[in-house]
Amino acid sequence: MAEKRKNFTSKLGVVLAAAGSAVGLGNVWRFPTEVGNNGGAAFILIYLLCVLGVGVPVMMSEFLIGRHTHANTITAFSKLAPGKWWRIEGVAGVFVAFLILSYYTIISGWTLYYLVQSLKGSLLVSQDYSAYFSSFVSNSYIPLLYAVVFMLMTHLVIARGVQSGIERFSKIMMPLLLLIIGVLVVCSFGMPGAGTGLRFLLKPDFSKVTASVVLSAMGQAFFSLSLAMGCLCTYASYFTPDTKLVKTAFSVCSIDTFVAILSGFIIFPAVFSVPNVNPDEGPGLVFVTLPHVFNTAFHSLPLLGYLFSGLFYLLLLLAALTSAMSLHESVTAYVIESFNIRRQKASALVSFCCMALGVLCSLSFGVLSDFTVCGLTIFGLFDFCASKIIMPAGGLIICLFTGWYLDRKLVYNELTNGETVPFRMFRVYVFLIRYVVPIAIILIFINELLG
**201-237 confidence digits (pLDDT tens):** 888 888 888 888 888 888 888 878 989 899 999 999 9
- What are the start-end ranges of the H helices in 31-86? 31-37, 41-50, 56-69, 73-80
Q: Is the pLDDT of residue 281 over 70?
A: no
Whether 187 and 260 have beta carbons less than 8 Å apart is answered as no
Q: Is the pLDDT of residue 276 over 80?
A: no
Write down the pLDDT at residue 302: 78
Class of the CATH domain delimited by 11-450: mainly alpha
Q: What is the DSSP string of 291-319?
A: HHHHHHHTTT-HHHHHHHHHHHHHHHHHH
Q: Which residues contact 70 (CB under 8 A, 6 or more apart)?
A: 5, 237, 238
Length of the chain equals: 451
Q: What is the pLDDT of residues 286-321, one digit of tens each?
A: 888 888 888 887 777 778 888 889 999 999 999 999
Q: Furthest-apart CA pair in the chain: how many Å?
A: 67
- What are the start-end ranges of the H helices in 121-167? 129-137, 142-159
Q: Between residues 29 and 90, which one has the greater pLDDT?
A: 90
Q: Which residues contact 147 (CB under 8 A, 6 or more apart)?
A: 105, 106, 108, 109, 355, 358, 362
247 — pLDDT class (breaks 50, 70, 90): very high
Q: What is the pLDDT of residues 33-52, one digit of tens each?
A: 888 888 888 999 999 999 99
Work out the average pLDDT over 411-439. 95
Q: Which amino acid is at 78?
A: S
Write down the pLDDT at residue 38: 85
Share of the chain above pLDDT 70, in %: 98
Bridge partners, residue 376, by sequence: 373
Share of the chain above pLDDT 90, in %: 67
The span from the CA of 186 to the CA of 38, in Å, is 25
Whether 62 and 221 have beta carbons less than 8 Å apart is answered as no
Q: What is the DSSP string of 308-362?
A: HHHHHHHHHHHHHHHHHHHHHHHHHHHHHHHHT--HHHHHHHHHHHHHHHHHHHH
Q: What is the pLDDT of residues 152-176, one digit of tens each?
A: 999 999 999 999 999 999 999 999 9
Whether 56 and 245 have beta carbons less than 8 Å apart is answered as no
CB-based burial, 319-341: b 16+ in 10 Å, e otherwise: bbbbbbbbbbbbbbbbbbbeeee
The span from the CA of 208 to the CA of 205, in Å, is 6
Write down the pLDDT at residue 449: 75
Q: Which amino acid is at 357?
A: L
Work out the average pLDDT over 390-404. 94
Q: Between residues 193 and 54, which one has the greater pLDDT?
A: 54
Q: Is the pLDDT of residue 2 over 60?
A: no
Work out the average pLDDT over 358-373. 96
Write down the pLDDT at residue 237: 97
Q: Which amino acid is at 346?
A: A
Q: What is the mean pLDDT of the chain?
A: 91
At residue 300, φ and ψ (nearest 5 deg) are -90, -5
